[in-house]
Every structure is written in C-alpha cells, then in structure tokens.
Amino acid sequence: MQNICTEIHQGDCKEILPGLATNSVDLIVTSPPYADQRKNTYGGVHPDKYVEWFLPVTAELLRVLKPTGTFILNIKERVVSGERHTYVIDLILRMREQGWFWTEEFIWHKKNCYPGKWPNRFRDSWERLLQFNKNKKFKMYQEEVMVPMGDWAQGRLKNLSKTDQLRDESKVGSGFGKNVSNWLSREKAYPTNVLHMATECNNKSHSAVFPEALPEWFAKLFTAEGDWVLDPFMGSGTTLCVAQRLKRHSIGIELVEEYCQVARSKIAEFVI
C-alpha cells in the first residue's frame, strides 16, 4: 500500500509557499480569511486592500500548481455600507492578468445558512467557488462525482422489471436494442455547477469554514490517488482530513498555532 504524506506548516503562507517546489501540486482548495472577518485571528484585512493583500499569494500558487492542476477558491464578497463590495470581481480580473484562466464559477448553495433578517436584504445562502487553471487543458475525472438521475428516469425506470432492463442491455450488445435502452440503462447523470451542501455548524471549538463534502467533491473531481492537494489557509484541517481519507498527499499551511494543533489531532485520530 502506498504511503500518504500529510504535511502541516505553521506560519504565514506568504513565507511558507516560496519553499514549495514549482509545478508540484495537483489541486489547491482553500477558503481564505474574508475581508474584515475574523479580526481576532488574522488581523482583518480591509476590503479596499484585500486584493493587494491576496495577489502575492495567488502569484505563488500559480508557480506551485502543476500545469494540469486546478485552483478552487471559496470566497464571497461582504456587504460594505449597503453594497456588495467589488473586491472579489476585482480579484478575478487581477488574477487573469497574473496568468490565471478563470475557467468556471461554481455556486455553493448553503442550505442551512445562518438565520437573520435585515431591512434591505435577505439571508445570504450562497458563496462563490471560483475555478482557476494554468491552461485550458487540465485533469478532470467527471465520472467520480456523478449523481443519480432525476425524476424522469427514477419514476419511469422503476416500473420496468430487472429482467426487462437486462434484456434491453443485452439487446444493445446484439444490435437489437432500441435507442431508448441507452437511456434506460443509465442511472447516473453528470452534476451541474451548483453544489447543494449544508454547512456543518456542530463544531464551535474551531470555525469550520466549509463542510467536508466540499473539498471531497473537488478532490474526487480534479485529482487521482497519490496526487498532491494544497490548502494555504488550512484552518482546522478539513481539506487535509479529506485528502488523507481519499489517499491524496496533502500540504496545509496555517498561521494560527491553535488551529494547527487541532488539525494535527484530527489527522492523528485518522491515522490510528
């Protein structure tokens, strides 16, 4: 059995990242501290200066990522004086100038988002999952994340007996099958770019940024076993736990020592 490496670096990723090898990582999944959020731990970057603060990091990530790799950035602009701030879309434009391709924007629909009500605003129940690449061609394993088919197949396929289904499939092989049999024999469909995932609000000891299902989905989609996953803002280590469970090597960087310890204990638990 292959040995899986799980590295944790404590420190500022701007200082740690230069130590990583060029073109060495297959997937970067991270949720950086949002602008002006978590002031007590990260010092809180002002929204107007967020892009300038973050661009040196993305420059290093561009270097570290393999040409066939993918960078998934979980981010959402906050409301500043009644308006959505533009630092996220500014960041997209600036990252393209750095050489990144803005391949896609997934939507993370948070089903059980925090309750709350404002006079001019509803609850914010979605976040951006920006996909960036170094090239237009990159590795993608779409079959790994297929989902069951919708009502059409479920409701109508159900009435066919199993022998009927088998018979249809055998007909395909012998050339007697109907075109429909191609459809009926299928149980799964490819997903879309909207991900429905509930937030995990059970752990209050550490701020769980995103649920395990999120890095898991992208790890399955963009990496194979033995590939390398990087999270430059590791937090409590959700990404690394998932990577290890899926037999991917992983590197986590985290400024706060307390989070590093939480991550180490979670990794250790799993190793046992």
Partner DNA sequence: GTTCCGCATGAATCGATAG
Partner DNA sequence: ACTATCGATTCATGCGGAA
Task: Please give the residue ranges that form the binding site for DNA (CB under 7 A).
Answer: 31-34, 37-38, 74-76, 78-79, 82, 111-112, 114-121, 123-124, 127, 149-153, 156, 159-160, 163, 180, 186, 189-190, 198-203, 207-209, 233, 235
- How do 194-197 and 101-110 pair as beta strands? parallel
- Give first-to-last CA distance, the chain, whole Å: 16
172's contact among DNA, its own copies, none, with CB below 5 to 8 A by partner kind, is its own copies
Stretch that binds its own copies, among 24-32, 41-49, 123-131, 252-260 (CB under 8 A): 123-131
Least distance from DNA to the Cβ atom of residue 38, Å? 5
Q: Which residue has the tokens 């289904």?
A: 165
Q: Which is nearer to DNA, 168 or 227 (CB)?
A: 168
- Burial of 177: CB neighbours in 10 Å, binned 0-12, 13-18, 19+: middle
Q: Which is nearer to its own copies, 54 or 138 (CB)?
A: 138
**Rounded distance between C-alpha atoms, residue 9 and residue 120, angstroms:** 43
**Number of Cβ within a 10 Å radius of residue 184:** 17
Closest CA to 230 of 45, 58, 1: 58
Least distance from its own copies to the Cβ atom of residue 73, Å? 13
Stretch that binds its own copies, among 8-16, 25-33, 132-140, 252-260 (CB under 8 A): 132-140
